[in-house]
Amino acid sequence: MGKTVLILAALAMLASCGKGSRTQFEGEYYRASAKAPRKERQNFVATAGPISRGIEGAAAAAFYEATKHCIKYYGTSDIEFAFDPETPVDQLPRDGDRIVLRGTCQE
């Protein structure tokens, strides 16, 4: 839980570094999104990449999109991820050159 709080704090600080609607992570811009079925918005998949620009930045962008998604639809940043939150960044789930985070917004 402590690591999740630190990640969210870091995301908030990183968000202030963006230009306009784009947000920079670790000095790079990443293509990132969070998607969920319309009838089950609490269950989402957040992706970001390319990892080749930097895995830490891609992971931060994916966590940021996950957090934005849950705040938009549920008014909370409480998320239960499908993986152990203590997982090292380089071991997070991937699909090719993208980080893939599956989770559920907690009401």
For range 56-80, the mean pLDDT: 96
20-29, 31-40, 80-89 — which is least confidently predicted? 20-29
Cα 80 from Cα 83, distance rounded (Å): 8
Q: pTM for this one?
A: 0.79
Q: Of the candidates 70, 57, 59, which has an alpha carbon nearest to the alpha carbon of residue 24?
A: 57
Question: What is the arithmetic mean of pLDDT over 38-50?
Answer: 96
Asked whether the beta carbons of 63 and 92 are under 8 A apart, the reply is no
Residue 91: C-alpha distances to residues 70, 94, 100 (Å): 23, 8, 11
44 within 8 A of 33, measured Cβ to Cβ: no
Query: Is the predicted pLDDT of residue 16 greater than 90, yes or no?
Result: no
Backbone angles phi, psi at 46, to 5 degrees: -110, 135
